[in-house]
Amino acid sequence: MAVTKQKKTLSKDKSINIAIIAMGGQGGGVLSKWILDMAEAQGYLAQYTSVPGVAQRTGATIYYIELFPAHLADTKKQNPVLALTPIPGDVDIVIASEMMEAGRSLMRGFVTEETTLIASDHRDYAIVEKQEMGDGRRELSNVRSLAEKMAGTYICFDMDTAARAAGSVISSVLFGALAGSNALPFGRAIFEKTITESKRAVDANLRGFALGYENAQKGDTPEINPESNPESNPEINPEGKEDEEAKGGLVPSASVAPLLARMKESFPPHAHFLITEGLKKLVDYQGPTYANLYLDRLKIFTDMDAEMGGAKKKWRLSKDMARYLALAMSYDDLIRVADLKTRATRFDRFRDEVKAAPGQIITVSEYMHPRLQEVCDVLPTWLGGFLLQRSSLNVFFQKGRRISTTKLGGFLLLSFMAKLKWLRTKSLRYKVEAERLSAWMDDVKKAVSDNYDLACEVAGLQRLMKGYGDTYDRGLENTAKIMSLYPSFKEEKTAASILENLKSAALKDEEGKELSKAIHALNVSVG
């Protein structure tokens, strides 16, 4: 996205105040230094301040720069006193190196109609966003629209991507955008000279600078930001039309074609996208027969949905069940993990992810810690159950293991395990999961006739079921906690939102503090 509002250049006869709102370690210091050197070379008295101790340490921080025209000091025969921190309402240029930090500059009152705001439209998530058990990422459409509304001049595009494209760092792109904003009374060549004279990573910085400059000069009309428009997702294909040609003319294999045909014939088109994904997952997980079982199970819910006039609700129940049922039926076990870890596609992916050069030799070690439980999980019910009772076996599972999938031993071991799929449907875990599944499906079914939205929320309980080992057990525990309360509120009119609240509280922290709070509040209100 590139948003640009009209550009105006600041007078040469006035002081200029610049605030850089950034995260420690993002190169705010380098950027400040460039601005300082440039301004001094152009006849300004200049000063910059920063908060010591946050360099590299990723906290939100401010670098503040004041430029004072030397000729003014000369005529007045007096040196100016330059400030150490920005004053709300008195900042000419605000440079925000990330979108949330742009929001912070608005909150602090640095941006007015006189201000040029230069912001990078990318996200670097804060720890409070990252640490949640669900999706703690903040949605920043309000920052984007307020920034555009409040700033006199607004320049915004993804400078992180630009920096990567240039093989440079974000400070050079920000410097380029500052030049391109025309806010400072210096031409492009003067900016570039500053970079050249700094003598460090000159070529890369000039490339980044050029991208920043050009993007800031372009007066692009803003594109619609997908984040602010959640309706624009591809799942809805109301007519259910398939364009084989657009998909490269690839036809499904004979083993899965009947599944797709069955979906098209007897499932609501609104859910086709998710059902297709579900089928793909389950065929891959266990095979076409298993995927057919998925359709059998799902059919009950899509039929109910149709009966309840699901069209009015955009087929939410069908879509939710298509999603969650597929996830519930593809729980992660050792077999699955081994399978995913040994694939050729995965090998390509990790090479790409760690930025290995073409042909570069890399060795990959997997960090696994299978416990007795997980091993018994994949064994036949009787054997798994028997061994699970032998706690003395635990001594073999005390330590985590490092298995190298790029070496023969490790690879063969895991690819052997991946072949044990046939054991799965007879395994201990399968039985346990099947019981859980049917209890959950029953709850959804029971809820549908009274309260459609509530049924969807019950379906969504699956979202709590994540991970492996303790993490998975916590999911089970939280679900059980919530379901034990369920009878006390399910008749309420607001039952759906109560359940939704409980669920999101359960995903907030692992100690269960938020969930306890929510449960307490509920007990008080329901009595």
Chain positions 150 to 179 lying near other proteins, rule: CB under 8 A, are: 150
For residue 18, the minimal CB distance to other proteins (Å) is 21
User: Exactly one of 2, 45, 70, 340 binds other proteins (CB under 8 A); which one?
Assistant: 340
Among 40, 124, 303, 477, binds other proteins (CB under 8 A): 124
Pair of tokens at residue 520: 């307490």
Smallest gap, in angstroms, from Cβ of residue 124 to other proteins?
A: 8
Piece of 6-14, 194-202, 411-419, 447-455 that binds other proteins (CB under 8 A)? 411-419
Closer residue to other proteins, CB minimum distance, 287 or 380: 287
Residues 494-523 binding other proteins (CB under 8 A) are: 510
Q: Considering the rule CB under 8 A, would residue 489 count as an interface residue with other proteins?
A: no
Q: Are 320 and 459 in contact (CB under 8 A)?
A: yes
Identify the residue among 76, 77, 130, 199 touching other proteins (CB under 8 A).
130
CA–CA distance from 304 to each of 238, 294, 324, 367, 446 (Å)?
19, 16, 16, 44, 11
Give which of 326, 328, 331, 304 is closest to 316, Cα–Cα. Answer: 304
Return the residues of window 422-441 that contact other proteins according to CB under 8 A: none
The footprint of other proteins on residues 318-337 (CB under 8 A) is 323, 326-327, 332, 336-337
Residue type present at position 9: T
Query: Are the C-beta atoms of residues 153 and 117 closer than 8 Å to each other?
Result: yes
Size of the site for other proteins (CB under 8 A): 110
Show the CA angle centred on residue 323, arms to residues 426 and 414, nearest 5°. Answer: 45
Which 55-74 positions form the footprint of other proteins (CB under 8 A)? 56-60
Binding mask 280-319 for other proteins (x = CB under 8 A): xx-xx--xx-------------------------------
With CB under 8 A as the contact rule, the residue among 120, 181, 205, 342 that binds other proteins is 342
With vertex at residue 109, the alpha carbon angle to CA 108 and CA 113, rounded to the nearest 5 degrees, is 150
**Among the residue ranges 135-143, 201-209, 212-220, 298-306, the one whose residues contact other proteins (CB under 8 A):** 135-143
Q: Quick one: which of 54, 70, 73, 483 contacts other proteins (CB under 8 A)? A: 54
DSSP label at 20?
Answer: E
Q: Helix (H, G, I), strand (E, B), or coil: what is residue 129?
A: helix
Strand order in the sheet with 116-120: 3-4, 153-157, 116-120, 93-96, 16-23, 60-69, 44-49
How far, in whole angstroms, is CA 95 from its chain's centroid? 24
Half-sphere exposure of 503 (CA within 13 A, CB side): 20
Q: Which residues contact 344 (CB under 8 A, 6 or more apart)?
A: none
141 phi, psi to nearest 5 deg? -65, -30
Site for other proteins in 352-391 (CB under 8 A): 353-356, 360-369, 371
DSSP 219: -
Write down the residue that tokens 């298509």 correspond to.
322
Nearer to other proteins, 235 or 492 (CB): 235
Closer residue to other proteins in complex, CB, 477/510 = 510
Stretch that binds other proteins, among 19-27, 210-218, 303-311, 432-440 (CB under 8 A): 19-27
> Burial level of 135, CB count in 10 A (0-12/13-18/19+)?
exposed
Q: Which of 9, 255, 289, 394 binds other proteins (CB under 8 A)?
A: 255
**Residue of the chain from 88, 89, 134, 240 that contacts other proteins (CB under 8 A):** 134
Per-position x/- string for 461-480, each x denoting binding to other proteins as judged by CB under 8 A, each - no binding: --x--xxxxxx---------
Which sign does the torsion angle of CA 448, 266, 296, 466 carry? negative
Residue 344, interface with other proteins (CB under 8 A)?
Answer: yes
CA distances from 9 to 18, 45, 91, 116, 181 (A): 14, 19, 14, 10, 8
Among residues 279 and 378, whose Cβ is nearest to other proteins? 279
Candidate segments 96-104, 174-182, 427-435, 437-445, binder of other proteins by CB under 8 A:
96-104
Among 84, 251, 480, 524, binds other proteins (CB under 8 A): 251
Residues 6+ apart with CB under 8 A from 248: none
39 binds other proteins (CB under 8 A): no
- The nearest distance, CB 415 to other proteins, in angstroms, is 6
Question: Segment 256-275, which members bind other proteins (CB under 8 A)?
Answer: 256, 260, 273-274
> Sign (positive/negative) of CA torsion 71, 72, 75, 81?
negative
